[in-house]
A and B are shown apart, each in its own frame.
Chain A
Amino acid sequence: MAKELWKGNEAIAEAAIRAGCRCYFGYPITPQSEIPEYMSLHMPKVGGIFLQSESEVAAINMVYGASGAGARVMTSSSSPGISLKQEGISYICSAELPAVIVNVMRGGPGLGTIQPSQGDYFQATRGGGHGDYRVIVFAPANIQEVVDLMQDSFELADKYRMPVMMIMDGMIGQMMEPVEWKKPPVNPEDLPAKPWATTGTKGIHEPKAIHSLFIDPNESNDHNMRLDAKYQRIMADEQRYETSETEDAELIFVAFGTPARLARAAARLLEEEGIKAGVFRPITIWPYPYDALYQAAAQDSVKAVVTVEMNTGQMIDDVRIAVRGCKPVSFVGQAGGRVPTPQEVVAAAKSALGR
């Protein structure tokens, strides 16, 4: 199929509709407002529901309700709005309901700036809400990958009955790139039945209940252990990553999203100076591809590992866990809306190598 030029945010919305999403609840916030805008125009055309809620808190609870009724449902926002959704995400995780949540990140903390950032890594991977829960988190690096991962996101959400998050910096939402629609659109009527959904007893079924209250400590413990067993399965089965020129590299950059592209530009500059640098890019940042990164870093050729992030150093914690102290790990990045330059990344790489 021919490639088309798409703006990131509009591609996210179109990809969700093509993935069979028929309910969208959200509230505008820069730099992701084109998502609700596109949904408002196109969701009614496929018989779906677009609703601009009165707040982000309301939107995430509408997601909770629609998902409980069996709908393929999505919400999106940018950093401050995602903070507001955290309570609902915790409830949805406990209630074991599928949903897709998109965070087009801007600089924080607080109201911050509308410029691109990756400051929500901790929030996405450690859980901004309360309790022992996890969400699968995809971190695409270009618009084609956003589109390719959307259907997977809804499928994994259904498979594990939990939210799947997609996080990207504001630049990916705002830019335009060619997109190829590789997968055929999903007809929601063809999706597998959800026997747990609360769709009414119709006078014949036993009533079903979806809740997150387990007041008996034994019941609550069992519930947590069951959730944890699910998360362990996901950690074993759902890690995704991409490597570029990491074999026999002297230095390994680790970066997700846009900085992975900057790291590749830096690797090319280093190559001109005779330094072989590779890029390890996690595509899922939870579950994190710890073992694959360890394998790459533990090679005899590797002298240093450098993380490149658009924050003050968040993923570096996971990189240190992965590398297990076998190689020095350092950080280069810019926070609060600034994007690191390939030259800054090159300088950090040389410093890490003692040159």
Chain B
Amino acid sequence: MAYNEILIAGFGGQGVMSMGTTMAEAALSEGLNVSWLPSYGPEMRGGTANCSVVIADSEIISPIVLQPSELIAMNLPSLDKFEPAVKSGGYIFVNNSIIKRKLARTDVKAIYVPTLDIAAELGNMRVANMVMLGSYIEATGVLKFDTVVNMLRNVFTGKKAHLVEINRQALQRGAACV
């Protein structure tokens, strides 16, 4: 029985919320149960933001993630705050383009992803979150690569259709980090 409790955290503007909704939409289209819960408050661009995503093949009991099975830390304050909460044996994905420390925990699997460096090489800083998502999919196998790419085809249409390819590349480059 798969029951993934994912916490995605970072600065506002890093695509934390949209990474979560992309995962939620993809999970739903794979027939899985899903919930997406944002932190909300007097927040602003550059402030901290996080969202909880639960993906399960059984009923989702609670949408609140207190002990994530996977943490995606896009900035240092998020890693500092949530590293202790991750379940033993879980994953922590570290955006090491801006997080310069290693994990303190030794009982979790660490995946270091230089999301901004890869996004810069691809020529669009805004795909950094898709780089991270690619790593997540490759490491956990929770979602299928093709599902996410097909979803992007539905999101980016018309004048934005060219964005599918760069996002696909971002996902692939992220997967290669694992």
**Interface on A for B, CB 8 Å cutoff?**
3-5, 30-31, 114-115, 170-171, 174-178, 261-262, 264-265, 268, 339, 341-342
Chain A CB within 10 A, most for which of B21, B24, B33, B62: B62
Chain A CB within 10 A, most for which of B21, B36, B42, B64: B64
21 contacts between A and B (CB under 8 A): A3-B28, A5-B28, A30-B40, A114-B42, A115-B40, A170-B40, A174-B37, A174-B38, A175-B63, A176-B36, A177-B34, A177-B63, A178-B33, A178-B34, A261-B61, A261-B63, A264-B61, A265-B62, A339-B64, A341-B66, A342-B62
Q: Report the 9 A-B pairs with minimum CB-CB distance, sorted nearest first.
A: A176-B36, A175-B37, A265-B61, A261-B62, A265-B62, A177-B35, A264-B61, A174-B40, A5-B28
Chain B CB within 10 A, most for which of A5, A115, A261, A265: A5
Q: For chain B, give the interface size range.
A: 10 to 19
Given A176-B21, A264-B61, A268-B61, 8 further pairs, Cβ under 8 A: A171-B63, A174-B37, A176-B36, A177-B36, A178-B28, A178-B33, A261-B61, A265-B62
| B86 CB to nearest A CB, Å | 16
* Contact call B25/A5, Cβ cutoff below 8 A: yes
Bound complex: CA A341 to CA B63 (Å) = 12
| A342 CB to nearest B CB, Å | 7
Closest to A337 in B: B41
Closest to A176 in B: B36
Cβ contacts B60-82/A at 8 Å (1 or 0 each) = 01111010000000000000000
Contacts of A341 in B (CB 8 A): 66
* Contact call A114/B62, Cβ cutoff below 8 A: no
Closest to A343 in B: B66
Cβ contacts B22-50/A at 8 Å (1 or 0 each) = 00110010000111111011100000000
* Contact call A175/B62, Cβ cutoff below 8 A: no
Bound complex: CA A284 to CA B36 (Å) = 26
Closest to B39 in A: A174
Closest to B36 in A: A176
Bound complex: CA A151 to CA B33 (Å) = 25
Bound complex: CA A122 to CA B26 (Å) = 41
Closest to B32 in A: A178
Contacts of A177 in B (CB 8 A): 34-36, 63
* Contact call A31/B64, Cβ cutoff below 8 A: no
| B46 CB to nearest A CB, Å | 20
Bound complex: CA A265 to CA B3 (Å) = 13
| B16 CB to nearest A CB, Å | 14
Contacts of A178 in B (CB 8 A): 28, 33-34
* Contact call A175/B38, Cβ cutoff below 8 A: yes
